[in-house]
Amino acid sequence: MPKVVVIGSANRDLTCRLDRLPQLGETVSGGEFYTSFGGKGANQAVAAHRVGAEVRLLAKVGCDRNGDAIIEHLEALGLATDGILRDGSHHSGVALIMVDRTGNNAIGVAPGSNWHLTVEDIHGAQSLISWGEVVLAQLEVPLVTVREGLRFAKDNGLVTILNPAPARPLSEEILSLADILTPNETEAGSLTGASVWDVDEAAQAGKRLLESGAGQVIVTLGRKGACWIHKDFVQTFPSFPVASVDSTAAGDAFNGALACAVAEGRPMHEAIRFASAAGAVAVTRRGAQDSLPTRDEIDDLLEGSQ
């Protein structure tokens, strides 16, 4: 079984589904409210688990009811929780999400304990990290922690995947620790200072990120597909035609599935297509972790698109 270690966040999500997203200063009433579980780290760990990986998640939650609920939820899904640390000084992370009828969303996060996952926590989890074959990280925990986790993984021969989300400035040092960098169009634009609206612009942004140290880059473009930028070539991948309901965890589905496929040793073009199908299935359902697909669902979509 492929082994994936995820270093990242775990949240309780509070979601309001609306007819449309409010403009600045506006209140839109008539919504539907529900709670679920999220955080990019936990989402990607669940995504990798659902498609067949054995997963360890290194994250930190508070000693509160939300922290208890997050751990109980992950255990119920069959994930090991020995890497979930408790923080007695800060609340568990909470995300406030608004989703419109077409699946577009706006998200605000109170990170709480996620911002207190430390370099020392990485040092204390070295045996957990070195157990894996692929290490996947995002940017909802401190950058120094991400850097230390990726550095330790590379020093121990693991493949590193960095999903630079949410968008933040990154040094060449951190970019050079990513064997695979997976920004969406917004994040690619933020990292390079250029607009990224289509495949050609994604390719140019990817080349700049390679020059900044990334091993290879995959820019996800939603309905416009994905663009894989390698030092020797650029390859594009079309999107899958699906009815979008909620795009909340599409990127997390992509990254978790990609990590699993890479740990399985699949060729990269096959891994990207598998991950793209995972993201496509995810947008057809509400919520974050509730929307993440199984391997059978991804395979069905891949077979139906041939």
d(CA 142, CA 139): 7
Q: Across the chain, where does the E strand assignment appear?
A: 3-7, 11-17, 32-38, 54-62, 84-87, 93-99, 105-110, 134-137, 159-162, 180-181, 216-220, 226-229, 234-237
For residue 40, give the nearest of 216, 259, 271, 206 by alpha carbon.
259
**Per-residue DSSP letter, 113:** G
Q: In what order do the strands lie in the sheet with 180-181?
A: 84-87, 54-62, 3-7, 134-137, 159-162, 180-181, 216-220, 226-229, 234-237
**Per-residue DSSP letter, 36:** E
Q: Across 67-154, where does the E strand assignment appear?
A: 84-87, 93-99, 105-110, 134-137
d(CA 100, CA 21): 6
* Cβ count within 10 A of residue 140: 27
**Phi, psi (degrees; rounded to nearest 5) at 184:** -85, -175
In the residue annotation, 252 being an active-site residue is answered as yes
Total residue length of the chain: 306
Q: Are 95 and 44 in contact (CB under 8 A)?
A: no
Instruction: Kindly name the residue from 13, 121, 246, 252 that is annotated as catalytic.
Output: 252
Give me the half-sphere count of Cα atoms (radius 13 Å) on the Cβ side of residue 79.
31
Residues assigned a catalytic role: 252
